[in-house]
Amino acid sequence: MIALLHSEWERLWKRKIAWVFLIAIPFIILATSKYYIGHNLVMPPGGPEHTTAENFPVMAMIEQLIVVFNVLVLVLLTLSFTEEYRSGQLRMIMLRSYSSTQLFWAKWIAFALLMALFFIIYLLFAVMAGYTFFKSSPQQILFYYDHTVPSGDMILYTLRYYGMAYTTVMGTASVFIAIGVISRSSTAAIGLGMGYLLCSLAFPLIYEMSNRVLGLGLPGVLKYLSLTEIQFSGIAVMLSNAKALQDLHLGLWMICILVVYAAVFMAAARLIFTKSDRWI
Amino acid sequence: MKVLEIEQITKKAGRRTLVGDMSFDIMQGDVCGFVGPNGAGKTTLIRMITGLIRPEEGKIRIEGFDVQRDRMKALGQVGAIVESPIFFPYMSGRENLLNLVKLHPNISKEKRAPRVDEVLRIVGLEGRGKDKVKTYSLGMKQRLGIAQALLGDPKLIILDEPANGLDPMGIRELRNLILELNERHGITFFVSSHLLDELQRICSRFVIIKEGRLVWQGTQEQWQLMAGSRSLEDHFVEMMTS
């Protein structure tokens, strides 16, 4: 299994997209820094949206998580699952003495490791950019926090934020893998994946608007059925120490949603990938 | 000794029977031609032998190991090209093989690179190993396909229409390679093809199928005896149209 994982990792790593993204990380961070420098001009200190050296890594993740990371995940998984499978390239692997279940998990683990590496490198560049472009502050003001946080605690908060962001990306990845294994071409997989992302982005807006306009009185937490909404505001809510929010157990609710997404879509993807005949 | 045993194999797609109750054996050292018209079920059976699809009924054993129950041991004895050899185009020929050789547990880490160089030498691609696969001609891809099939030092190599798209020079190179591997390395071959003339030059045995069913099997001498004064091609056409 380790050999299979090594083989998958090597192929993923040899793809141009992996290198392009790696090289792009400093430029993405630079562009994000530029955006927040401008943002700081209209956002005076004293609010959570004011960027400091310490909170920049979190702000940089908030800014790029939904678009850059989700799209990267979609492209990587489409190349790894759909393209290799539908073009017949994967036949070279499937003809060997490994089961398709082992192949499925090797692909998943190789992808998860690559994404973890990207997150770590992104964090390192964000920390460097934070101290290069922004003023340091002894106390940080965070979203959904009752009090300010000393810089030392900010390190832990940042790591937790990145950990949760990574978890949500893995949740989204489970949907993309299911899409990837049912799609008959890479174009279809990318199209369906983008369609899913747009629906996920639109759902909370439509839900809140209809709830308000039609006076449905449905619970607000249902907007977190959307994974992109968890990425947009949910992570900060999960990490909140505000008493009012903690009483609602929103963190638990969102974790449950992530687990259900991962379990349902991964199980479906694995079943389709391993049980069906491979007419490739 | 039996290298490949096909025992009452049936595969259906909906109501249509793609392969029906097919049984035959391939013995060690055979170069066996697998002949049948388009849609006869040749590739379907090869896909079942290589574990890509599952039969509804029957058993396939390679070197005595059941492909369904003992997949690792069974497929560990086989090298194959199913339809056209498709590689990872963003890697060189050598990188492709280095990636695939990891999947052979019988080859230790230190022996992987020498094994890759050895198979590249066997198929005559040692000079082009560092080039990207996307720059290879079809003939070179076929040879690289045989190289990947050779990686695990298999007892049996299965080639599905290996001469498709090859020019006469490529076909001759492929023929010589098969004969050399059979004679010098004792590898058993199971080769499907439409090119009966070509198979006649290399095959000691034939398995002939039509509409998913076995029509005839035996040695080339037996077939020639049966055909009498007619050519094998004429006799084959007769079998397919009767």
Cβ-defined contact of A88 to B102 (cutoff 8 Å) = no
Enter the tokens of residue A180: 């990837």
Query: Residue A277: its chain B contacts at CB < 8 A?
Result: 47, 52-54
- Averaged pLDDT for residues B14-21: 89
On the question of pLDDT at B124 being above 90, the answer is no
| Spans of all domains in chain B | 78-153
Residue A62, pLDDT score:
93
Residue A85, pLDDT score:
87
- In angstroms, the CA B237 to CA B233 distance is 6
How far off is chain A from B209, nearest CA to CA, in Å? 20
Residue B24, pLDDT score:
93
Does A278 contact chain B (CB < 8 Å)? yes
Contact A175, A196 (CB under 8 A): yes
Residue B66, pLDDT score:
93
On the question of pLDDT at B242 being above 90, the answer is no
- In angstroms, the CA A7 to CA B238 distance is 49
Tell me, letter by letter, the H, E, C secondary structure of chain B.
CEEEEEEEEEEEECCEEEEEEEEEEEECCCEEEEECCCCCCHHHHHHHHCCCCCCCEEEEEECCEECCCCHHHHHCCEEEECCCCCCCCCCEHHHHHHHHHCCCCCCCHHHHHHHHHHHHHHCCCCCCCCCEHHHCCHHHHHHHHHHHHHCCCCCEEEEECCCCCCCHHHHHHHHHHHHHHHHHHCCEEEEECCCHHHHHHHCCEEEEEECCEEEEEEEHHHHHHHHCCCCHHHHHHHHHHC
Confidence of residue B241 (pLDDT cuts 50, 70, 90): confident
Residue B192, pLDDT score:
93
Interface test with A, best of B88, B95, B156, B161 (most A CBs within 10 A): B88
Core vs surface per residue A216-254: b (16+ CB within 10 A) or e:
eeeeeebbbbbbbbbbbbbbbbbbbeeeebeeeebbebb
Cβ-defined contact of B52 to A94 (cutoff 8 Å) = yes
On the question of pLDDT at B238 being above 90, the answer is no
- Averaged pLDDT for residues B206-213: 92
Query: Residue A97: its chain B contacts at CB < 8 A?
Result: 71-76, 103, 105
Enter the tokens of residue B39: 């849609």
Q: Say which of B76, B102, B148 has its CB closest to residue A7.
A: B102
Enter the tokens of residue A222: 């249902």
Residue A242, pLDDT score:
76
Query: Residue B100: its chain A contacts at CB < 8 A?
Result: 7, 92-93, 96
Strand partners, A150: A139
Cβ-defined contact of B102 to A3 (cutoff 8 Å) = yes
Q: How far from the centroid of its chain's Cα atoms is residue A29's Cα?
A: 17
Enter the tokens of residue A72: 């990267």
pLDDT tens-digit profile of A107-134? 999 999 999 999 999 999 999 999 999 9
Name the stretches of chain A with pLDDT < 70.
Answer: 276, 278-280
- Averaged pLDDT for residues B114-140: 89
Contacts of A236 (CB under 8 A, 6+ apart): A62, A142, A143, A144, A161
Residue A212, pLDDT score:
87
Cβ-defined contact of B78 to A16 (cutoff 8 Å) = no
